[in-house]
Amino acid sequence: MIWTAYNRQHRRVVAYHIGDTGVHSAIAIYKLAKAAVGQISAIFTDANSCYRLAFERIGASEPHQQTKAQTHLIESSNASFRDNIARFNRRTKRASKSQNMLEITLDIFLARKRLQSPS
């Protein structure tokens, strides 16, 4: 599973993590996002219970809200991955799905999006 952190102010993905759907991955994406942007003012997530458990475990001070209304931009980003990168299509036989190749593909795709992103 690919976890992504989206910065609404800059309108782009600022961090990603490839891992399972558990608390350890939620903690990993939180730490990566914090390292990428510094101060986080608020966290919006879907209803996955691992976020609440992860934020309680590490003592995150930022307000956390589980809502679909504020996560539409990350869903749009996920759709962009699936539409533009054959590696992320479901049941594809077109490309390797090794973790190393997923990371390289995401790095290239996000770097290109960053260059095209309005600042």
For 68-87, the pLDDT digits (tens) are 888 888 888 878 877 777 77
> How many residues are recorded in the chain?
119
17: left (phi over 0), alpha (psi -120 to 50) or beta: beta
pLDDT in the model for residue 19: 85
Cα separation, 88 vs 110, whole angstroms: 14
Nearest to 74 by CA among 119, 33, 19, 116: 33
Which amino acid would we find at residue 5?
A
Find out whether 55 and 49 touch, Cβ atoms under 8 Å.
no
The residues facing 3 across adjacent strands are: 17
pLDDT class of 92 with cuts at 50, 70, 90: low
Q: How far apart are CA 88 and CA 109, in angstroms?
A: 12
Check whether 28 has a pLDDT greater than 90.
yes
Give the pairing of strands 12-18 and 43-45: unpaired
pLDDT tier at 32, thresholds 50, 70, 90: very high
